[in-house]
Amino acid sequence: MADITLKKIYVKVWRQNSAKEKGRFETYEVENISQGSSFLEMLDILNDKLIREGKDPIAFDHDCREGICGMCSLYINGRAHGPDRDITTCQLHMRKFNEGETITIEPWRAGAFPVIKDLIVDRTAFEKIQQAGGFVSVNTGGIPDGNAIPIGYDDAEEAMDAASCIGCGACVATCKNSSAMLFVAAKVSQLAKLPQGKVEAKRRARNMVTKMDELGFGGCTNTGACELECPKGISISHIARLNREYLVAKLAE
Amino acid sequence: MSKGSFLSASIGRKFLMSITGLFLVTFIIVHLTLNLFLIFDDSGDLFNLAAHFMATNPLIKIMEPVLAIGFGVHILWSIIITVQNMRARPVGYNKTSQSVNSTWASRNMFILGGLIFVFLGIHLYAFWWKMKFAGDPLLTHTTVMQGGVPVEMENAYNLVATMFKQSLFYSITHILGGVLLGLHITHGFWSAFQTIGLNNHLWRKRLFVLANIIGWIFAIGFSIIPLYFMIKF
Ligand code: HEM
Ligand code: SF4
Ligand code: FES
C-alpha cells in the first residue's frame, strides 16, 4: 500500500541562535510529506527548503538514525521522542501525524542541559556523571573462559536490560523534576549486577549521585514518566536498586 | 557518616520524606480506626472511651510531640524538595502531555499536601484545640462504664457528632480532607518504598495496588464519618 502524503503540515520550532541569546518559536509550512518518511527526514526536507530560501536551517542532533546512538532528541508535541512508545526520534514516522496538524518541537528542557543552538542541547553533564564512577577500575584479570564466572540468568538479563541505556536524556527531558535518576540507575545497575562491577558498587552509587546533584538535576519523585518515555524501556526498578545501593553506602560511611 | 551531606543529597532528602510519610501513614491508620467508632456506636461510649484513653495514656503523650515533629519535617522537606525540583528546569516547555505517562496524584503531591495542610489547620482548630485547651460548651461531661467501673470523662462524641450534624462547612471540609489524603497516599505509599529501595519489578505492582487500596480506605473511611451524621440525623 502506498503511503499517504500529507499535503500540508505546520511545524512550530524553537529557534535560538546561541546559549546566550533569547529564543523564540517560529512556525513553518511543510508540503508534500509522505507518511512513510521518518520525522528527521521531514526536518531534512524543511531544512532543504530553508537553505534554498537563504534562511538558517534548524539545528538538531542526530547520528546513527537507527535508534542506537542516543544522539537524536526533541520534545515533540509535549513528549520526549514524540508520540510513540519505546522509540527514539529517528525511529518516529510521519504516519503518527495528520493532515494540517501543527507539530510543536522543543529542545530538551533542563538546567543541566543548556541549549547550544535551536534544538541542540549540551548533554556533557551525562559524561561527567559517567566519569564520576560509571566504570570498573579494579583489576579483573584477562579475558575469562566462557562460563568460568557463573552469573545467574536473572542477573545477566537485568544487567543487560540496564546496559541498553543509550544516554539520550529523554528521562531527564520527560521528568517534571528534570531528574537524571533513571540514567544513573541504569549505569549503576549494569555493573552492580555483575561480579566485576560489584566490588565498587557502593562507591560508584555514591559518587555518581553526588555528581548528579552537583550538576543541578532535580530529585526523583517516582512519577514513573521516565520509564514510559525511555526509548529502551529501562525499568524504574533500577532506581529502587540505586536508592538501596546509595543508602547502604551512606550508612557504611 | 557525614549527616550534612546525606540530608542535603537528593536521595537523602527523599529518604526523610518517605520515613516521615510512612510514620504519618501508621498514625493515620490508628486515627481512622478510632474515629470509625463514631459511626459504630451511636451512644458514643466506645468513641469516648477511645478518646479518653488517647488523652490520658502516657505513651500517647510521648507520641504527640513526635507526631508534630514528623509532620513538621515532612512539610518542611516537601517545600525544600519542591523548590529544588522546580529550579532544575529554569525554562519550561510550551506544550506537555504528562498525563500519558504518569498519574495526576504523582505530579501534584505538593498541591495535595498543601491542601491537606490547610485542612489540618481547620481540623486541629475544630477538635484538638477545643478538647485540649479552649474547651467548648458542647464538651459536656459523661460517665462511661470502663471494666465495670463508672468513669467520668469529656463527651468528645457530643462535640464531633454535633459539629457534623450542624455545620455543613466542617462536614464538607472533612470529606474533602479525606479524599485529598487518599489521593496523596495512592502515590505516596508505594513511592516511599521505592525511595527506601525496598522495591523490585515484582513488588512494585503489589505495592502500587496496596497504595491504591490504602488510599481508597483513607478517602472512604474519613469521608463516611461526616456523611453518616449528615444523612442519619
Ligand atoms: C500536611 C501536609 C503534607 C504535605 C505538605 C505533604 C507533602 C508531600 C510531598 C511534597 C511529598 C513528596 C512528593 C513526591 O514524592 O512526589 C510527599 C510524600 C509523601 N507523603 Fe506527604 N504531605 C503532607 C501530609 C502527609 C500525610 C498526612 C501523610 C500520611 C498519612 C503523608 C504521607 C506521604 C508519603 C508516604 C509520601 C511518600 C514519600 C516518598 O515518596 O518517598 N503526607 N508529601
Ligand atoms: S535511561 Fe532511557 S531515557 Fe534515560 S538516557 Fe538511558 S536510554 Fe535515554
Ligand atoms: S540518531 Fe542515533 S538514536 Fe536517533
A196 & A169 share domain = yes
pLDDT, tens digit (0-9, with 9 covering 90-100), for B10-36: 999 999 999 999 999 999 999 999 999
CATH of residue A92: 3.10.20.30
A177–B199 CB contact, under 8 Å = no
CATH of residue A208: 1.10.1060.10
* Residue whose C-alpha cell is 550538576: A215
Q: Considering only CA atoms, which of B190, B177, B171, B145 is closest in space to residue B233?
A: B171
Residue A81 has pLDDT above 70, yes or no: yes
How far apart are the two ends of chain B, measured CA to CA in Å? 58
A132 & A226 share domain = yes
A128 & A112 share domain = no
Cβ contacts (< 8 Å) between B79 and chain A: which residues?
none
ipTM above 0.85, yes or no: yes
Please tell me the distance from the alpha carbon of residue A205 to that of residue A250, in angstroms, as a whole number.
Answer: 10
Residue A212 near residue A180, CB atoms below 8 Å = yes
Q: Among A35-44, A128-137, A179-188, B54-63, which is the least confidently predicted range? A: B54-63
A80 & A159 share domain = no
pTM for the model:
0.92
Residue A104 CA, ligand 2 centroid: distance in Å: 22
A75 & A182 share domain = no
Which residue type does B194 have?
A: Q
Where does chain B have alpha helices with state H?
A: 3-8, 10-35, 37-40, 45-56, 58-87, 104-107, 109-123, 129, 156-166, 168-196, 203-232
Please tell me the distance from the alpha carbon of residue A3 to that of residue A43, in angstroms, as a whole number.
Answer: 18
When divided into structural domains, chain A yields a total of: 2
- What is the H or E stretch that residue A30 is in? strand A24-34
A88 & A207 share domain = no
B9–A112 CB contact, under 8 Å = no
Binning pLDDT at 50, 70 and 90, where does residue A142 land? confident
Window 2-41 of B, Cβ < 8 Å to A? 2, 5-6, 9-15
In order of their start, the domains of chain B are 3-232 (1.20.1300)
A128 & A230 share domain = yes
Cβ contacts (< 8 Å) between B191 and chain A: which residues?
221-222
What average pLDDT does the segment A218-232 reach? 96
Please tell me the distance from the alpha carbon of residue A197 to that of residue A202, in angstroms, as a whole number.
Answer: 10
A133 & A214 share domain = yes
Please tell me the distance from the alpha carbon of residue A123 to that of residue A116, in angstroms, as a whole number.
Answer: 10
Q: What is the pLDDT along chain B (233 residues), one digit of tens a residue?
A: 444 578 888 999 999 999 999 999 999 999 999 999 999 988 888 999 999 888 888 898 899 999 999 999 999 999 999 999 999 999 999 999 999 999 999 999 999 999 999 999 999 998 888 887 877 778 778 888 777 788 888 888 989 998 998 889 999 999 999 999 999 999 999 999 999 999 998 999 999 999 999 999 999 999 999 999 988 76
What's the DSSP call for residue B98? Answer: G
Provide the grid cell at B93: 516547555
Please tell me the distance from the alpha carbon of residue B28 to that of residue B226, in angstroms, as a whole number.
Answer: 17
A23 & A66 share domain = yes
A241 & A128 share domain = yes
Domain holding A188, by residue range, is 124-139+148-251
Window 66-105 of B, Cβ < 8 Å to A? 81, 84-85, 87-98, 100-103
B10–A212 CB contact, under 8 Å = yes
B196–A247 CB contact, under 8 Å = yes
Binning pLDDT at 50, 70 and 90, where does residue A129 land? very high
A71 & A185 share domain = no
Q: Which atom of ligand 2 is nearest to the CA of A226?
A: 3
Check residue B1 and give its pLDDT.
Answer: 42
Phi-psi category of A169—alpha, beta or left, where left has phi over 0 and alpha has psi -120 to 50? left
Residue A204 near residue A138, CB atoms below 8 Å = no
Closest CB to A174: pick one of B90, B101, B199.
B101
A26 & A83 share domain = yes
